Structure 1
Amino acid sequence: MNGPLDGIVVVDLTRALSGPYATMLLADLGADVIKVESPAGDSARGTGPFPSDDEDHHYGGYFQSVNRNKRSVVVDLRSPEGTAAVRRLAADADVLVENFRAGVMDRMSLSYESLRCDNPRLVYGALRGFGDPRTGTSPHVDRPAFDVVAQAMGGLMGITGPPYQPTKVGAGIGDVFPATLLAVGVLAALTDRARTGHGRFVDVAMYDAIVSLCERTVYQHSYTGAVPTGEGNDHPLLCPFGLYRTADGWVTVAAPRDHQWQALCTALGRPDLAEDPRYATNNARVAVRDKVRAVIEEWTTQRTSAQVVAAVAADVPCGPVNTAADLYADPHLRAREMLVDIEHPGSARTVTVAGQPIKFAGSGAAVHHRAPLLGEHTAEILGPGTSAG
């Protein structure tokens, strides 16, 4: 099935997680993403897990998840033939995306400026730890970065977990959020190109993206002079808004608005609290957050998580803390095509990857094809017998 980006050709020079996630978003939306890999392949191919019956190990779950719907060509960028092959691809492409350190593409004679000379309509997307000098030179420009570095420097770890105990977010959000912003930037540049006829250089720094994600800490410090720290599972400005113990686990409950608090109080059997000035407004409840927690948990700990959700979720935002097994058991995710089964080379069974959350009415699942084998489409794209180094 054709997606909204059908006909858009993307040359993908990315590896690991951040860049491939950005180009995966474009591929899921229908773009023809040509993944350019070295003869050794993206290093992520060797990262598991692997199906138990897979003895070939063409790639593991890490690579499969963010490289589905792409085609792969092998090109040796250390050779003149390899760089010439990339230049040919870029000359006919709509988008090129890379996540090398600043200056690497320039040293390979594949700079944005030179590629733009061949193809003025090219949208060039760059994703780096600390950005590209073309959009603002950082004193950290030459440093490498990974997810955990972006989470730490961008302030996310400092406001996650218990007070003054920085905690890494479990998902690779230091990669995934910058990648998502880069995809947004690429789409904006394509829209601009439709008006002007010219492409643009689009740059996202992982550090910048996480600062943007942590926007609340920026204005809090500006307005109050405070240095926000971890709030555990509570919210510094909203109450109740957090995690609460049940008889068999945990649930999240968020009732900062007056009507939500009133509905929650009714479910708790404490309608008096909705009128009590110590609890009646969000700002009042924030000041007595521990007492609010005690009232809620007096009720929730006498009930299972499922019972709590059933009692309040219709009127109050509430949900269980799901494990991976819980996700597979929730009919919502299958109904919304957020758990998608695809083949895995070397295995007799299918594997499941997270689906595409961007939905379009009248369209089916965005995930159609497994990740490619290394160089699987080299002859198809570059031509039979083509040497790319």
Structure 2
Amino acid sequence: MQEPDMAQLALKGLRVLEVGGGAAVAYAGKLFADFGAEVIKVEPPQGDAWRQMPPLVAPQDGMAPESALFAWLNTNKRSVAADAAQPADRAWLGTLARSCDLVLDARALAQGLAALQQPLWTWGQAAGAATPPPMGVDFTWFGDSGPYKDFAATDATCRALAGAVHGSGPVEGAPHMPHDVHTGIVAGLGAFTVAVAAWMGRSQGSRRYVLSVQEAAFSVVEMEAGLVQDKAHAPRLGVNRFCTTHPASILQTSDGWIGIFTNTLAQWAGLCDAIGRPELGSDPRFFSGPDRMAHADLIDALLKDVFPSRSTQEWFALLTANKHPAVIVPTMAQLLEQAVHRERKAFVPVQLGAAQFEGPVLPQRLDAAGPLLGGRARLLG
């Protein structure tokens, strides 16, 4: 990937206002900014709360540390600080909103739907003025209609209500909860997709769109939703036990980790050959995925004993030779060093003040140019 020509970036010339906190609106804004749009992020005078989300880096000597994650989410944007409780700031923000093509508004996530009753672009505008409104995407937890519309939530609860949490984790006790950023990324991508499509069809389409974070999370868990039977959740099967096949696990080797996924009988036979137990490949107890799931404890004990005997690379070569699906699971240090990522510039520099670190490049593509290969995150204001 080569550094893109700024003039050729797909969204160059578009002006976007980003208001509110959280990963969802920040990621939507990042997508616009990294593809060339002018994105203006509005923060309260004390700064966005996510500026303190670990891990932290020091922007420069004598300054308090700030979030590396926040910096990555906000590359190539401008930053302005304003207090919406102050009339002068409200009027100024209204003028700013009217100068933009698009407003990404996440105020309702913190303040409820009442925050959307008076759109930003109307602030400070004279009564009866006929200024065409900018296009807008409003971020909500559950939309602006329906029985949940006034409920408060978090990214984690939306993910759980979408069915993406129940089936993961030990049989007894609480399920595993992923980091909130996962849900925010999905919702941000949804908002970006809607906004770009709306901009392309702006001569005929609506000018305001309402995004539900819960519905966005649901869009990526169709399989889990399909496993819900008889109007009740299917029982949680345990760690690394999903659906009706086994083993589908990440296993520890002598020097790291490897992931395996066994679906067909031929794949099971290949795994048995690789671990030196070919007789198990023809054992009728293990012929089908449900059969193997019924004997998951026995299989897991066998694999946990044998996999530490070889390195990750040795297991990968052996499993591949036996036509069994396998993937090397690198540590973060190994991931950053892998040639396949370095050759494709998968990790790019992010600057915050005088500090610099690496973060992942956006995986999306729009036309031939972009996204920008890293960039600078602005200090507050």
- Please indicate the TM-score interval, normalised by the length of the shorter structure: 0.7 to 0.9
* 1:203 aligned to which of 195, 210, 221: 210
SS in 1 for 2:57: coil
Distance 1:222 1:95, change over 3 A: farther
- Which position in structure 1 is the counterpart of 2:114? 103
Shift of 1:104: 1.1
- Counterpart AA for 2:353: P
Find the partner of 2:182 among 173, 181, 198: 173
SS in 2 for 1:118: coil
Q: 2:25 is aligned with what amino acid?
A: G
Report what 2:343 is aligned to.
335
Measure, in 2, the Cα distance between the counterparts of 1:188 and 1:364. Answer: 18
**1:317 paired residue number:** 325
Q: Is the 8 A contact 2:156 2:180 kept in 1?
A: no
Deviation at 1:149, TM superposition (A): 3.0
Identify unmatched segments of 5+ residues in structure 2: none
1:64, distance to aligned residue in structure 2 (A): 0.5
Would you say the 8 A contact 1:338–1:355 is kept in 2? Answer: yes
Is contact 2:59-2:353 (8 Å) kept? no
Q: TM-score, normalised by structure 2?
A: 0.81
Alpha-carbon offset, residue 288 of structure 1: 3.4
Give 2:188's aligned amino acid.
A
CA displacement at 1:233 relative to structure 2: 1.3
- How many residues are aligned here? 364
Partners of 1:200 and 1:238 in 2: CA distance: 47
Displacement after TM superposition at 1:351 (Å): 1.4
The structural deviation recorded for 1:140 is 5.2
Asked whether the 8 Å contact 2:164–2:224 carries over to 1, the reply is no
Contact 1:239 1:289 in 2 (8 A): yes
Q: Percent identity?
A: 25
CA shift at 1:230, angstroms? Answer: 5.5
Q: 1:76 aligns with which of 83, 88, 99?
A: 83
Gap change, CA 1:224 and 1:146, over 3 Å in 2? closer
TM-score (norm 1): 0.79
- Show CA shifts across 1:166-199 (max 9, x none): 2211462232222222222223323332xx4444
Change (3 A) 1:150 1:57: same
Q: Return 5+ residue gaps in structure 1 as ranges.
A: 376-389
Distance change (3 Å), C-alpha of 1:268 and 1:109: closer
Stretches of 4+ aligned residues off by more than 6 angstroms: none
Mark the CA change 1:313 to 1:19 in structure 2 (over 3 Å): closer, same or farther.
Answer: farther
Distance 2:294 2:193 in 1: 39
Structure 1 position 96, deviation (Å) = 0.9
Alignment of 1:1-389 (within 5 A): 1=5, 2-48=8-54, 49-51=56-58, 54-57=61-64, 59-101=66-108, 102-107=113-118, 110=121, 118-119=131-132, 122-131=134-143, 133=144, 136-139=145-148, 141-143=150-152, 145-165=153-173, 166-170=175-179, 172-193=181-202, 196-222=203-229, 225-229=232-236, 231-258=238-265, 260-270=267-277, 273-297=280-304, 299-313=306-320, 315-347=323-355, 350-359=356-365, 363=369, 366-375=372-381
The alignment partner of 1:127 has SS state of strand
Structure 2 Cα separation of the partners of residues 95 and 108 of structure 1: 12
Q: What amino acid sits opposite 1:128 in the alignment?
A: T
Closer, same or farther: CA 236–15 of 1 in aligned 2, 3 Å: same
| In structure 2, C-alpha distance between the alignment counterparts of 1:37 and 1:50, rounded to whole Å | 20
Q: Secondary structure at the match of 1:188?
A: helix
Q: Is the CA contact (8 Å cut-off) linking 2:59 and 2:352 kept in structure 1?
A: no
Q: What CA distance in whole angstroms lies between the structure 2 residues aligned with 1:282 and 1:19? A: 41
